[in-house]
Structure 1
């Protein structure tokens, strides 16, 4: 019996010893998982990147647009190209599907918040007003690779809007200009083509600094790269232009020189509970290349070596610019959240800040009596968007750049009917004016190609274009909106009378009368923000 007890006690002692040894060999307890933490410093949607003190927000939207009787998606009126002519190459509707993805990071530092921001637009569209058959037969119709060409079956492309860094009051990269208002070209509209003022909503390469003075008062100054965004045509009138279809402007050839200085821009702004007031200004260099282009260093047969570009000389650089005043009024008695926004602009040699879109500025050509246009049959109106024109002395001019003057106004009244429905009534207008010398030179060139000037018709390249629109939105679910927008566009010409010529293929040479033109476009949109 004693032996059995000894065996049992010995076995138990051994088991205890073994369990103690195994317990000693167990791994150290794992650290708690670091879950994503909400970052409440910079508003809703931010969270800390795990293991860092940097906050990040991923956002964006998904948007589907269709425009009827427009020249491109986003409700561009039918005021140029095939749509302005109403010919059979013109697609009667254009569509685009887009997903915009934004990445916003913030990090606190002793110098203030360090911020990075980027937006890329993943999108697919139809060809717009460029007929696929024409592109296939003559790819140069597009003037090179066009984003619409990338929207082939199964294709699409990515457009980069904003990419910038902010630090200690400075902004570096592609962002809205320091000249722009907070609403850019969108006081209440869906359209990316509202005439009347600056619109850099898609971003320009720039460096800018903003100083905050307290009580909502701030000032910004910046240097913008003008080459991609803030240049319209600079016309050398000595180069043959044919008919108004050449560039749809009836002038010569654009002949910019290389950029040698950025645009100097800035604003002073007051933000208060009642709204906003802002004054903006810009300085813009306008420099031509050469009086003769395309000789390539080899004299033209039968002419002298003076036809070489360098030997032909060039006009002196001129300096223009623009100013803008903007006002927003909140808390108006029509309803909660209602407001009025408008801005007024004047420019000389900086026409993009009046005849603006989120892309390039259009030249205008509209025919009457064709599908989608409401002017008289066999009539037309056209207008050139230019920063300036010049005629070399060898061609009878004074050789100086004559800066184009323009001024505009635009705005909107925004009203909320209830938490689900809202509407905006908006409009804009731009005027383009040439001085006496520029008008005489332009008309002399035009008269050399289109006979009857001073007899059957009078020439004046000044014009105005106006737009009036309304958009209504329904938001059945938060951040999910259906909207419909209609725009009436009116092109007012200063030409009068009639002449025998062709406004360009595929239109025939016949008698065309000069008359004001009208068109209407419609846009429908579905958008989900996230």
Structure 2
């Protein structure tokens, strides 16, 4: 068959054009992968989001607190007040930021949690603290967090005169077994250093602790239901004197508490009662005791005769009532009593604490609060003291 004129030239031209076009097509990028957007994760509660490309959900939240403090303490209390060269009023601002991540695995829930706190207060300036940072895997918990011993730590702000109950963040290595029916049992090894309240030496001078040899051992049995919560806890704490001749003894603490829902007084109302007893483990009974004097505001023990270590006897009881006057108005009332008996009674003391506040929340996540805190210091040695502060607080949660 005859070919049309110019056919050969047309074929050459078409081939010349086709070659670079084919080469260019092979250089084109592959079709982009579909974009995965952050989306809600409903399996772990409100506010969680899925990290794109993973099975991990995360949550970010926090709060900002601005406070103004007006003090009225007397000189015997050794707290800020209208005497001497004291700052009777100060400003205070705190920012707390939380991160929470969770992943379901074939071995159970894997969770990590962190809380960073920034505080600006005169005359100390800006102070940053890693309050919590821990990992949970199944029933295992490792890291820095609230002590497993702690049950109720108060709902008022309690910035200065915290009532007589344990409220400590420290290193823990714990295992919790869920027993069903709202029951759980926990065994925890915890940092000994964060639980030291000093040892009084000869002549009343601060004597101090020797090096830690054992962590504290904490055991807890807890229950939770529609009625509220309850917890029984025990702790062993080594008290080791710096003086080798005085040796060491094992301090201990026992405590029990319950928080009951009391809707018959108001929707969301709660009542809490907590009591503790122990020897040589003051911080398991009270976080901020005020005792006979600087250096031993509270002490776990005394060294007598240079070689005899005597543990302090301690007991405490505290209560709180939270009342919702309406959806926008809430009040909280704390009260507690602490009794510390040292060997020889010379350094015995008692603290009575009370806090009362009234909060107004005009919109969600914003709260205005007026709070009064009072502490009475009853000393066997020295003058009794009265410590007081009035606080005005604005808090924004997110």
TM-score (norm 1): 0.67
Distance 1:41 1:197 in 2: 34
The alignment partner of 1:352 has SS state of: helix
Q: 1:189 aligns to what?
A: 156
The equivalent of 1:286 in structure 2 is 239
1:389 Cα deviation from its structure 2 partner: 0.2
1:519 Cα offset (Å): 3.5
Once the two structures are superposed, residues 248-283 of structure 1 have per-residue CA deviations (whole angstroms, 9 ceiling, x without a partner) of xxx212321100001101110110111111111000
Instruction: Report SS of the residue matched to 2:162.
Output: coil
Match of 1:407 in 2: 315
Structure 1 segments unaligned to the other structure (5+ residues): 1-5, 72-76, 128-147, 239-250, 291-312, 367-381, 394-398, 443-460, 496-513
Q: 1:220 to 1:487 in 2, by over 3 A?
A: same
1:162-207 CA-to-partner distances (Å, cap 9, x unmatched) read: 01111121111101111111x3x21x3111432211112xx20111
Please tell me the root mean square deviation across aligned C-alpha atoms, in Å. 2.8
Residues of 2 paired with 1:406 and 1:65: CA distance? Answer: 33
Alignment partner of 1:390 is 2:303: yes
State the SS of the aligned residue for 1:259.
Answer: coil
CA contact (8 A) 1:194 1:428 kept: no
Contact 1:383 1:493 survives alignment (8 Å): no
Q: Of the candidates 128, 131, 150, which is equivalent to residue 180 of structure 1?
A: 150
Which structure 2 residues correspond to residues 42-81 of structure 1 after superposition, within 5 A?
Answer: 42-69=44-71, 80-81=77-78
Aligned-pair distance for 1:365? 5.6
* Aligned-partner SS, 2:63: strand
* Residue of structure 1 equivalent to 2:373: 487
In the TM superposition, 1:459-474 aligns within 5 A as: 461-474=347-360
2:219 to 248, 262, 266: 266
Between Structure 1 and Structure 2, the one with more strand by share is: 2
Distance in 2, matches of 1:426 and 1:79, equals 23
Matches of 2:205 and 2:263, distance apart in 1: 49
- Distance, in Å, in 2 between the alignment partners of 1:114 and 1:283 is 29
1-structure distance, mates of 2:180, 2:157: 33
Q: 1:391 to 1:62 in 2, by over 3 A?
A: same
Alignment size in residue pairs? 383
* Partner residue, 1:256: 209
Q: How does 1:301-450 map to 2 (within 5 A)?
A: 313-357=244-288, 361-363=289-291, 384-393=297-306, 399-435=307-343, 438-439=344-345, 442=346
| Whole-angstrom CA distance in 2 between matches of 1:45 and 1:79 | 49
Does structure 1 conserve the Cα–Cα contact (< 8 Å) formed by 2:79 and 2:387? no
Question: 1:224, 1:89 → 2: CA distance?
Answer: 40
- How much does 1:28 deviate? 4.7
Deviation at 1:209, TM superposition (A): 0.8
Is the Cα contact below 8 Å between 1:194 and 1:427 reproduced in 2? no
- Distance in 2, matches of 1:212 and 1:70, equals 48
- Does the 8 Å contact 1:70/1:78 carry over to 2? no
- Report the 3-state secondary structure (helix = DSSP H, G, I; strand = E; otherwise coil) of the residue aligned with 2:80: helix
Q: In structure 1, how many angstroms separate the alpha carbons of the residues matched to 2:395 and 2:172?
A: 30
Which residue does the alignment assign to 2:3?
A: none
Distance 1:32 1:94, change over 3 A: same
Matching residue of 1:304: none
Segment of structure 1 superposing worse, 465-474 or 61-70: 61-70
